[in-house]
């Protein structure tokens, strides 16, 4: 599982030109899965994200969590995070988890974040979306389950 975390001042998602969801201060999460991902991994990654301190305190140190700043989450499914460009010029997505299982894990991941007390707004799984955001910092992290948990 890979999650790109972007600290934002605001973010929104449109599908077919219509606003689907928007957030103020918080995280825009780009979320992708590989075939070996499972429910345990999604729970661990959700828990990790919940504990991260990516917002600055009054001294300019990244000591504040998303809960500390009353932030929101805009979660966007993105199978292209596992795109492979080692061969040729067109990416292969053979390392991305197939749609129905990926959709299940995506829903579970968002539900886990909600159980942890976060307001989670979502994109539309499998849809072509227009994502708009204003990065703060910019501050962007990539969490990879293989790097964290082997």
Q: What is the CA radius of gyration of the chain?
A: 15
Tokens of 34: 């590989």
Tens digits of per-residue pLDDT, 102-136? 999 999 999 999 999 999 999 999 999 999 999 99
Q: CATH assignment of 2-149?
A: 3.50.80.10
Q: What percent of the chain has pLDDT over 90?
A: 95
Please list the active-site residues: 78-80
Q: Which residues contact 80 (CB under 8 A, 6 or more apart)?
A: 32, 91, 93, 96
Tens digits of per-residue pLDDT, 131-150? 999 999 999 999 999 998 87
* φ/ψ bin of 60: left (φ > 0), alpha (ψ from -120 to 50), beta (otherwise): left
Task: Name residue 65's beta-bridge partners.
Answer: 53
Q: Quick one: 61 exposed, middle or buried, by C-beta within 10 A (0-12, 13-18, 19+)? A: exposed
Domain boundaries, the chain: 2-149
What are the backbone dihedrals phi and psi of residue 97, each rounded to the nearest 5 degrees, phi first? -70, 140
Task: Report the alpha-carbon distance of residue 89 to residue 96 in Å, rounded.
Answer: 18
């Amino acid at each position: 599982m890979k999650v790109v975390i972007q600290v934002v001042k605001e973010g929104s998602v449109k599908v077919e030109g219509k606003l689907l969801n928007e957030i103020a201060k918080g995280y825009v999460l780009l979320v992708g899965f590989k075939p070996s991902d499972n429910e345990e991994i999604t729970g661990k990654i959700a828990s990790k994200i919940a504990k991260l301190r990516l917002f600055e305190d009054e001294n300019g140190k990244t000591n504040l969590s998303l809960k500390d700043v009353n932030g929101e989450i805009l979660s966007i499914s993105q199978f292209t995070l596992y795109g492979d460009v080692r061969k040729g010029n067109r990416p292969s997505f053979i390392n991305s988890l197939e749609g129905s299982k990926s959709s299940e894990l995506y829903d579970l991941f968002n539900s886990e974040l909600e159980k942890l007390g976060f307001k989670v707004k979502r994109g539309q799984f499998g849809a072509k979306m227009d994502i708009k955001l204003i990065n703060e910092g910019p501050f962007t992290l990539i969490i990879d389950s293989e790097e964290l948990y082997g």
